[in-house]
Structures are given as C-alpha cells and as structure tokens.
Amino acid sequence: MLMDISSEMIHALLPVYLVTVLGTSTLTVGIIEGIAEATASITKVFSGALSDWLGKRKFLAALGYGLAAFTKPIFPLAPSVGWLVTARFVDRIGKGIRGAPRDALVADISPKHLRGASFGLRQSLDTVGAFIGPFLAIAFMWLTASHFTAVFWVAVIPAFLSLFLILFAVQEPERPEGLRKVRMPLHRSELARMGATYWWVVAVATVFTLARFSEAFLILRAQSSGLSVALVPIVLVIMNVVYALSAYPAGALSDRMDRITILIIGLVLLLAADVVLAYAPGLGGIALGVMLWGAHMGFTQGVLSTLVADCSPPELRGTAFGLFNLVTGIALLVASLIAGGLWDAIGPQATFLAGAGFTALTLVGLIPLRGRVGTRP
C-alpha cells in the first residue's frame, strides 16, 4: 500500500510534468510507459524463478522495494528527460523483481486456511494505495500551488516507509525440511511439475484477462456519455473504492467455501458490468457499470492469486507467479488492442459486448476446474 501511494503520487503527475514542464511529446510519454510496463512483466518471470532457486523470497522482495524507493528522489532532482526515463525504468524493474517473490512470500507466510483472506487483504491494500496516491497528489499540488518537485519529494516518504517495513517487520519462515531443492526453475522438466491444473488456471485467467481490458475504456465510456473532462478521474476512484472494499471479504469468503464459486460470482458481476456499460443510458447507468466492474475485480483478482498458490508446488511458487503474471500481462495488452479496435470500428457497445463474450468463455473454462481446485482447505 505504501509503495503504491508513493508510485501513484508520481505517476498521476508524471505525464503532465513531462509534457508541460519538460516539453516532451505525448508519443514519448507513451513509449516510456509501454517500455516500463513491459519491463516489469518480463522481470517478474526471472525474479520468481530466482526466488525458487535461492529458496528465499524476502531478499528479492526487499531488493525490488529498495530499487523503487531509491529511484523516487531522482524524480524531483532530475535535470532532464533522460534521468526521468532511467528512474521510471529502474522503478519498474524494482516492481518486476518484487512482484512474484512477494506473492510467493504471502503464500508461504499465510496459514492455508486463511490464504484467500491474505491475498484478498493484499489486493485490497494495494488498491487503497492506488486511489490514495492520486488524491494526495491533487491535495499537495493545491497546497504547493502546483509545485511538481515538492509533491515528488513528499512521495519519497511512503516509499522508504515501505522499504523499512519489508526489511524489519516481515519475517520469512524457515524453509520446510525435506522440501525439494530447485536447480533450474524454468527448465521444461520443472515446468511440467506444475501440473495440468496449474496450467488450466493460467489458461482460464488468460481468457478472463481478455474480457477485462484496460480501465481506460471505462473513462472513455463515461466521457462519451457526457461526463466533463474535469470529473473524468472520478470513474477510477469509484471503481477502486468498490474494488478495495470487496477484495478482502471475497478472499475471506473463499476460505470458507469453494473458490471457484467466488470466481463465478466475480465473472457474473463482470458480465453484468459489460451489459450495463453497453446499453445503460446516462451517467447513472455508467456509474452502476463502473461499480459492478470494481466489484468483479474484488471477487476475482485475489482469488486467482490464491488458486495459483493452491495449485503450484511450494518450491516452485515464485516461478508459478512469475509465469502467471507474464501471461496475463500479455493478455491484458492484447485485450486493450482488441477493445480499442472494436471501439474505433463499431463503437463502445461492441467493445463491452466482446468483453461479455470472453467472460462467458471463461465461465465455460471453469467447469473442468470444479472439484479439482478451490475447495475449502
């Protein structure tokens, strides 16, 4: 949560800072963001595998948070675009390094009967940071009379608090005796040990990700219905508030009943969101669709992470999360390209109806998983 607050404070202002203060083009901003996110997705695979090879998660998680924290002062100090690009790049490397080992560490620390609640809480706090950060950026921009560098300095504080917590407050459990040593986590023989159930979960999550394209399309849908540009950010605020409020209860509920049932509820919520956003008239309908979208995120994202932990061998959890994040990250990019193409060619309705179609396919894909995973621990 703390690192998300710091990152979102900066990321909410960085595109405007690059264009209005440093005079870069919007194309440059797009290239920077694209490279940064791709770097994070690719790094996750190797950091997860390395954590399995080392048999240690906390070191890599702390390294990732440390890289992100120590890049934060570069943003207010940067004399040129090149420095900012480097800082953004290293920051995303840090995100990639910490992602899979952190999720594997959550699975290692959590009691099995509370694993769903643990991932739900992590997802909830992550989302809280995602909307507190921009709010703080707005507040400090107002207090400092739009002084970008002052706000960037404020963002340094939660980043180092995050690093302090991972270093001194998080204790990694001892490696269980008799747990098999992993020598080459990404070797074909090791990947085969993941088992068919894990790969089916990844396949289902990939199709599901095609259904839940970038939230930027929620903003475009609201704008097309008459929401003023000044109020457009409220769309993501509404979505993230509902997401944060629902993620922990959904995760805790998945510990008491079949996890696949919780996923089905989430998919039905997404199906409803797509239909509402495709057909509902006026801003009231759009608000309902956005709330349903946030609820579906709460009921699915933490539960999917829990299923990855449930289905993968303990000694290969880092690799499992890394591969899962890479594949679904690529799927999200493809989903957004499909959504954008349909929007331009036919209109918003086609985009959301296509999302509903992919959601229905995901529901069909869950049928073989019932009884194999997701039952109460």
User: What is the rounded distance in angstroms from the CA atom of residue 42 to the CA atom of residue 29?
Assistant: 20
Q: Around 30, how many Cα atoms within 13 Å sit in the side-chain half-sphere? A: 3
pLDDT reported for residue 377: 47
Query: For residue 308, what are its two tokens?
Result: 């990855």
Identify the helix (H) or strand (E) that includes residue 259: helix 259-279
CA dist 323 and 213 (Å) reads 19
The SS3 call for residue 206 is helix
Provide the token pair at 355: 């999302």
Task: Report whether 62 contacts 118 (CB < 8 A).
Answer: no
Instruction: Give residue for tokens 């703390």.
Output: 2
Phi, psi of 184 (to 5 degrees): -135, 85
What pLDDT score was predicted for residue 262?
93
Q: Where are the beta strands (DSSP E) in the chain?
A: none
> Of 276, 294, 266, which Cα lies nearest the Cα of 362?
266
Mean pLDDT by 10 residues, the chain (377 residues): 89 70 62 64 83 89 94 87 81 87 91 91 90 84 84 93 94 78 81 89 92 77 74 77 93 90 94 92 88 94 92 90 87 81 86 93 87 57
Please give the CATH number for the structural domain made up of 193-377.
Answer: 1.20.1250.20
Q: Give the residue extent of every domain in the chain.
A: 1-171, 193-377
Nearest to 113 by CA among 302, 252, 264, 217: 252
Domain 1-171: which CATH number of 1.10.1200.10, 1.20.1250.20, 3.40.50.300, 3.90.1300.10: 1.20.1250.20
Q: Are 47 and 99 in contact (CB under 8 A)?
A: yes
Amino acid 20: pLDDT = 66
Whether this prediction's pTM lies above 0.75 is answered by: yes
Phi-psi region of 256 (alpha: psi -120 to 50; beta: other; left: phi over 0): alpha
Q: Which residues pair with 373 in a beta bridge?
A: 370
